[in-house]
Amino acid sequence: MTQPVPKHGADRLGTFQLAGEADGLALVFSHPLSFWGGIDAETGEIIDHSHPGLGQNVAGRILVMPSGRGSSSSSSVLAEAIRRGTAPACILLERPDPILAVGAIVAEFLYDIHMPLVVCDIAGIVSGDRIAVRVGGAGK
């Protein structure tokens, strides 16, 4: 489990899909984002013309959204972005996403680069909030 802490001080508990630690500014979307065709792995820029985040950059941010959005190829795009250093520092989701988890696991295995993936209550988190993701005591 984790404790993402927005700058307004609210502690939240969640469940790691992939453990790790991260700090950064939140980039919050109410719409899911696909990494396949949605993110440029070379830059971290959102390139999906149908997504409200078009033109924003996920690199080093705490990406907050309800879930990922398909394609199974999103895992390979996420792994490549992690390798290049253009991926989010962490992804917070309302619902588990096995496709994003596979991308983060592959990057950890191949490149020894850790990007936490956490399922938690994201209500009230807004873009620009400072988030710290940590493993708490007793496995939390």
Query: Would you call 60 exposed, middle or buried from its count of C-beta atoms within 10 A (0-12, 13-18, 19+)?
Result: middle
Please tell me which residue in 50, 67, 71, 72 is annotated as part of the active site. Answer: 71
Dist CA 89 CA 26 (whole Å): 10
Provide the residue type at 86 as one letter: T
Please tell me the number of Cα atoms within 13 Å of 33 on its side-chain side: 31
CB 97, CB 16: distance < 8 Å: no
**72: annotated active-site residue:** no
Provide the residue type at 30 as one letter: S
Catalytic residues: 71
